[in-house]
Amino acid sequence: MKKKKTVKFKESLGIDIGSHSIKMVHLKRIHNGFKLLNYEIKPTVPSGIEYVLSDLRNDRFAPILSEMLKTLKIKPRKMKHVVSSIGGDDISIKQIKTIFLPDEELESALFFEAKKHIPISGNEMILDYQVLSIEEKTNNMNILLAASTKEMLQSHTNILGQTGIAPNLVDVDPLAVANSFALNSMVEDGVYIVLNIGAHRTNLVIFGPKAKFFARDVNFGGMNFTKDIMKKKDLSFEEAEQYKFDHGLGKGGSDDESQTISVLDISEKSTEEQIVEELRRSLRYYVKEAGNSDYRKVVLMGGGAKMIGLAEYIESKVNIPTEVFNPFVGLEMPEKLKDKQDPQLSLAIGLAMRGE
pLDDT digit string, tens, across residues 69-99: 999 999 998 898 999 999 988 888 989 888 8
Work out the pLDDT band at 276, boundaries 50, 70, 90.
very high
Closest CA to 151 of 130, 177, 125: 125
Quick one: which of 225, 317, 334 has its CA closest to 271? 225
> Which domains can be identified in the chain, with CATH numbers?
185-325 (3.30.420.40)
Give the 3-state secondary structure of residue 240. Answer: helix
Angle at CA of residue 153, ends 43 and 275, nearest 5°? 55
CA torsion through residues 303, 119, 178, 204, sign: positive
pLDDT band at 11 (very low <50, low <70, confident <90, very high): very high
pLDDT above 60 (res 265): no
pLDDT of 264 higher than 60:
no
The reported pLDDT for the residue numbered 33 is 85
pLDDT of residue 312: 96
User: What is the overall mean pLDDT for the chain?
Assistant: 87
Segment 290-295 mean pLDDT: 92
Per-residue pLDDT of 133-190, as tens digits, reads 888 888 899 999 998 999 999 999 999 999 999 877 999 999 999 988 988 887 888 9
Q: Which of 35-44, 57-66, 119-128 has the lowest mean pLDDT?
A: 119-128
Model confidence at 252: pLDDT above 60: no
User: What confidence category does residue 222 fall into, taking pLDDT thresholds of 50, 70 and 90?
Assistant: very high
pLDDT in the model for residue 55: 77
Average pLDDT over residues 224-231: 93
Residues 19-39: tens digit of each pLDDT: 899 999 999 998 878 999 999
pLDDT at 261 over 70: no
For residue range 37-55, what is the model confidence (pLDDT) as tens digits?
Answer: 999 999 998 888 888 887 7
CA–CA dist 106, 114 (Å, integer): 12
Q: Sign of the CA dihedral 257, 260, 265, 267? A: negative
Long-range contacts of 203-206, Cβ-Cβ distance < 8 Å, separation of 24 or more? 203/87, 203/173, 203/174, 203/177, 203/302, 204/278, 204/279, 204/282, 205/174, 205/177, 205/178, 206/282, 206/283, 206/286
The better pLDDT of the pair 356, 170 is held by 170
- CA dihedral in degrees (283, 286, 290, 295; nearest 10)? -20
Average pLDDT over residues 190-212: 94
Residue 2's pLDDT is 39
> Residue 257 above 50 pLDDT?
no
State yes or no: pLDDT of 356 exceeds 70.
no
Identity of residue 169: L
Q: Of residues 115 and 345, which shows the higher confidence score?
A: 345
The answer to whether residue 4 scores a pLDDT higher than 80 is: no
Separation between Cα atoms, residue 152 and residue 159, nearest integer Å:
11
Cα separation of 17 and 3, whole Å? 28
* % the chain with pLDDT above 70: 92
User: What per-residue confidence (pLDDT) applies to 267?
Assistant: 53
Residue 190 CA: distances (Å) to CA of 141, 177, 206, 207? 21, 17, 10, 8
DSSP, res 56: -
